[in-house]
Structure 1
Amino acid sequence: MGAAVDEGAFSPRGDGRGVLVVTGDAGDAAQLSGTLESAGYRVGATAASAVEGAGLLRRSRFDLVVWDATLPDNKDLARGRRLVLESRPPVLFLITCDYLHTLLPELGAGTRDYVTRPFQPAEVLARAGVLLRGRRDTPAPGMPRYGDLVLDDVTCRAQRGARSLDLTPAEYRLLRHLLVNAGQVLSKEQISRQVWNDSRATEAIEKLVSRLRQKVDQEDTALIHTRRGFGYVFGRTGG
């Protein structure tokens, strides 16, 4: 895994920013595209090889590049990964642990980072947000947020737009967990286990989500959605 990410230092919102995804793994490409688009990014193009990705970089503008550092033709590409590193958008590399030593010298300057396989959607969004931080709508440090929803981990209070949300401690913990996993479908069992370390409290989760939805989505665009038979998903396009 990469260095620890301060979850409060990024916004899961993509705000329509364009992303180029370059990976030879069709499953990774689909998962990355779905994760990023569910969080409001726009995946402008995907490429299955380094050569194809380099051509897209030359012809089009992107706000962020997600690049598979293990692509076989990286070494065959003229000037190798230097083209990617010299490109203007920040770069998030996909890497396996056994390849990591080859990539470390190229990291730094706040515009290049990596996630290791198997990657978690929440980590991809976290690192994308950190890479893009300061380029637009920089959130205040220590404030996890999604769109107009802001959480304050110091006071354990939440606000949506100008409206303060009167949350219980349990509701705050649940909302924070949903927010930092934006775009992922979470089952009631997963939520119970990951937030309360008890996989049996599924009935209580159902009631808690219902109460939380009434407070968070009361007068605004819905952020908490039910996927029947699967669980819950947080985000503007969760459906």
Structure 2
Amino acid sequence: MTPQQPLAASNARVKDARRLSRRSARAERRLFLADGPKAVEGALAVPDCVVEVFATPAAREHHAGLLGGAPVTLVDDRAIAALSDSVSPAGLVAVCRFLDLPTAEALTDADLAVLCADVRDPGNAGTVVRTADAAGAAAVVLAGDSVDAYNPKTVRASVGSLFHLPVAVERDVGAAVRAAQDAGLVVLAADGGGEVDLFAADDLLRGPVAWLFGNEAWGLPDDVAALADHRVRIPIAGAAESLNLATAAAVCLYATARARR
């Protein structure tokens, strides 16, 4: 059998996969790219998620244990660079099927969830997914005008966590909040002007809760925060005006995890 020759960047299959870097193409085909070993490993752990893995010969050899019997197509370095969103591609990119669930389904049986309202930065969104996974949350909902869950930067920033817990996409922030409440979760809006101090909220945090986080620049509008059951503020001891989104999410989620120990 003739050894497979790595495909070049000009190959039609590579070009077709590269189109998934555009949101419109992802939405139309319900496929996205997972770039790097952590993302590919996470994708391969989900049944029927991976359509195809593109790999350089060196990456296939180096990650043979990770790839197992996955369908691998060899490509050259220029092709992998065309498919990867990373400055230094690791040599592995998988074409994956969409994973998101309906909001109500994602929140079923959850006792800790995250609702993101109008989160626009893909790195922040991916970091929140990663943090939610690490803190033991059961679901993440990207609501309103939030960034695409399958944006390459979001997938990369989640470091595989996108594949570990249910993620839902909900256009209506109010509908996401109501779905969480209907699932038995107390919705806590992270709000610098909140009436509840995070450090005095252990009784609240021990129950089933969904944290509601707002946009990086303007936070939660009053009408959105008013939908929550409580507004919770993170104490600021120094002169800083506020915390950035990813840090605030980490503080709130780990305060919840600590209260439950």
- TM-score (normalised: structure 2): 0.26
- TM-score (normalised: structure 1): 0.27
- Between structure 1 and structure 2, the one with the greater Rg is 2
